[in-house]
Chain A
Amino acid sequence: MFSVYSWVLLFQIHISQHSGRLFPDPSGDGGKWLDAHYDPVAGLYTFSSCVDLADLSGDGESRLVAGDLGCGASAMKLKVYRGTALMSESALLDLPSGLVAFFMDLHQPRIPAVAVASGPCIYVYKNLRPYFKFTLPGLEVNALEQDVWQQVREGQIDQLTLKEMLEGIRRKADVPLSVRSLHFLSLETNEMDQFIQLHKQQPIRRQTVITVIGTLKKSTADEDGVSCLVIGTESCDVYVLDPEAFIILSKMSLPSVPTLMDVTGQFDVEFRITVACRNGNIYILRRESDKPKYCIELSSHPVGLVRVAKNVVVGCTDESLQGFTQKGKKLWRTLVPAPITTMASMDLPTRGFQAVLVGLANCEVHLYRDKNLLSSIKTPDAVTSVCFGRYGREDGALIMTTRGGGLMVKILKRTATFDERDSAPGPPPAQSVRLNVPKKTKLYVDQTLRERENGTAMHRAFQMDLSRMRLAAAKAYVKALESSMAPVSSSAAEPLKVNAVVQGLGPSFKLTLNIQNTAAARPVLNLAVSFLYDEKLYRVRTPYLRVPLLVPGLVYPLQTFVECTSDKGVSDIIKVFVLREGRSAPLLTAHINMPVSEGLPLA
């Protein structure tokens, strides 16, 4: 009773905590964030992989660099924001697939460069001016395809033959066709000739495109240490590029196309590249090997990948968040309330705080530490990119862009703290309060010790006693059987069963004995029934009954009347014996508990 009551009480407390937080706080973040800036029409359309924060002017004030993918009429741009204002923008030639700020040299003042990956190229900007363009090496071209185009150039085949041959190559070749041939195959017949004339003189090239980009410190872990660029490509390769010479330092291959990547460590010492791939697996690459060292097979596709200290947190399309060790061992899994749009890490080293920000399609951003929800922020629109770090002069800035192109900056309050069980659904906090369990007494400890030391002996003693008890029980049973004290006789000669029914309120009772021969075929003869009772209390009308021949299986009711002679309201047992003529030991015995007589004896 008490426990139910206290549970109800706890439940109420739990509820009121929730509602108490809901009303005075419209943004739903528990008053942990300051709204520094929101421009719903900033026209910035981007993803988490295309935003970064960096002190691009070396004045201690961090800027936001973003690769804007554009939308409809607005074109792709590289944008830089300072505080609440757009500081500069420049056109991008192609859709950006990733953007990172990194230190490419040791020059003073320490100003980072910006690398934008788009198509097969990396565009490097220094002081926000184009500085260098790196293009990935071309891929092997199909020899047959090359032959066919050679023939076209020599005028040996016409456009329809070309189309047929290319289709043949596409169907069975292990080296895929170049973009040019694929484009040709998609054309209408009337456009083909013009296309051939335009392109036939140029050599065929096959290019891959960059899908992900990251940075890897070269040899020091310093914040402003020189970093290598790490890129993943559509051709399932991962390259590490030297930051100064832009040569390929290392090439690793994956079983599938990388879509998300996290890099940690130093190239010259030890590093770890965690890549989520299009086949739904996560691979972990290490310095020593050009093949993945570990593989995590996910049950659904990854949409976000964040490293927290040594663990990896992955968001999947099945609305789940999962934690893994750096060796791929699964630690936990938790569900989120809506599809995940993007993820980012929230790392605040000055406060020793690390967590994961998860943008959701239901216009919320949730903050998780491991599987625990710490806090949630409501946003006016679903976010497509989230980035946490130093912006301006503020270390705890959260920058989000929305699906509609809005830009939002929130600043973590200096006094904000995150409580693990803050708003996480689940058991109320009181449940984890330690109970005041009394201390172990000396007696308890002594007993435990004794039990631990003499376990075998105690077990043996117990088994011995158990056997003795079983023996005693068996002996008693045998004795009962031998003296026919039970209402069932199992002797081979006369297998009998008897039960008695008493009817009436008293002082006159009717006693019916149902006797049954349980033998398979043999009838039983020469039986009699007699009663043993207290003659001061009862009088039995026929104290001796002869039993007729008992046919096996049939129930024979034998009836007699019992008169209670006492008016004291007492009752006693009447014993019924089934006897064999000429033998004094009964075949079986039944005890009848007589009811108390409720009537008065006739005067």
Chain B
Amino acid sequence: MGLFDKLAAWLGLKKEVNVLCLGLDNSGKTTIINQLKPSNAQAQDIVPTIGFSIEKFKTSSLSFTVFDMSGQGRYRNLWEHYYKEGQAIIFVIDSADKLRMVVAKEELDTLLNHPDIKHRRIPILFFANKMDVRDALSSVKVSQLLCLENIKDKPWHICATNALKGEGLQEGVDWLQDQIKTMKT
């Protein structure tokens, strides 16, 4: 941690990072972000996102601004307009939706090949969500199906999560925080 960061942390000024939260509709993006917010700011009812919404939450040293994108087919073409601003990506997968694993892979591949992403060392955090559902795929299986081992030029990490209970989320966010702090500024 540089001197400025230490000073900033001491002053309560935290470094701002923009994070894109992507993934198919119904994968649990909004539910996950809602869990990460302080409990007094959490929403009770979560409805499918229209377009996108901007949410903020803080960790010990960072202040996150999350673009919670809608995963519905007709809104997925909005994603790419925010790639430039994003400094990290959270990609959420419904591990119980085996049928659409190919669709998730297709969208991930499109993302990784986008000119605004392709040549950047942008960290990607995968949440294999809904691990509580019976017959859900393990995070290992999900990373196999999405061929994550092929991502060589970007740091990535996958965790199995249950967004309803908040399980597994902290591990992922800690990893992301470390990645962002080691990134050259």
B102 at interface, CB cutoff 8 A: yes
A414 at interface, CB cutoff 8 A: yes
Name the A residues within 8 Å of B181 (CB-CB): none
Q: What's the least CB distance linking A539 to chain B, in Å? A: 99
Name the A residues within 8 Å of B24 (CB-CB): 393
Q: What's the least CB distance linking A23 to chain B, in Å? A: 20
Q: Chain B binding site: helix, strand, loop or mixed by DSSP?
A: helix
Inter-chain CA distance A411–B101, complex, in Å, is 11
B100 at interface, CB cutoff 8 A: yes
Q: Are A84 and B106 in contact (CB under 8 A)?
A: no
Chain B 87-118 interface residues, beta-carbon cutoff 8 Å to A: 97-103, 106-107, 110
Name the A residues within 8 Å of B26 (CB-CB): 60, 393
Inter-chain CA distance A392–B100, complex, in Å, is 8
Q: Which of B26, B73, B106 has the most CB of A within 10 A?
A: B73
Chain A 486-524 interface residues, beta-carbon cutoff 8 Å to B: none
Which of A33-41, A178-186, A244-252, A330-338 is found at the contact surface with chain B?
A: A33-41
Q: Are A394 and B98 in contact (CB under 8 A)?
A: no
Given contacts A393-B26, A395-B73, A414-B76, contact A85 B100 (CB under 8 A): no
Given contacts A85-B135, A393-B25, A413-B106, contact A36 B73 (CB under 8 A): no
Q: How large is the interface on B (under 10, 10 to 19, 20 to 34, 35 or more residues)?
A: 10 to 19
Given contacts A34-B106, A36-B102, A411-B102, contact A392 B97 (CB under 8 A): yes
Q: Are B100 and A411 in contact (CB under 8 A)?
A: yes
B74 at interface, CB cutoff 8 A: yes
Given contacts A393-B26, A395-B73, A414-B76, contact A35 B97 (CB under 8 A): no
Chain A 247-275 interface residues, beta-carbon cutoff 8 Å to B: none
Q: Are B103 and A411 in contact (CB under 8 A)?
A: yes
Q: Are A34 and B98 in contact (CB under 8 A)?
A: no
Q: Are A37 and B106 in contact (CB under 8 A)?
A: no
Q: Which residue on B lies nearest to A60, using beta carbons?
A: B26
Name the B residues within 8 Å of A350 (CB-CB): 73-74
Chain B 55-81 interface residues, beta-carbon cutoff 8 Å to A: 73-74, 76-77
Inter-chain CA distance A392–B74, complex, in Å, is 16
A212 at interface, CB cutoff 8 A: no
**How would residues 67 to 91 of chain A score, 1 for a CB under 8 Å from any chain B CB and 0 otherwise?**
0000000000000000111000000
Inter-chain CA distance A395–B76, complex, in Å, is 14
Name the B residues within 8 Å of A283 (CB-CB): none
Name the A residues within 8 Å of B98 (CB-CB): 37, 83-85
A391 at interface, CB cutoff 8 A: yes
Interface of B toward A, CB cutoff 8 Å: 24-26, 73-74, 76-77, 97-103, 106-107, 110, 135
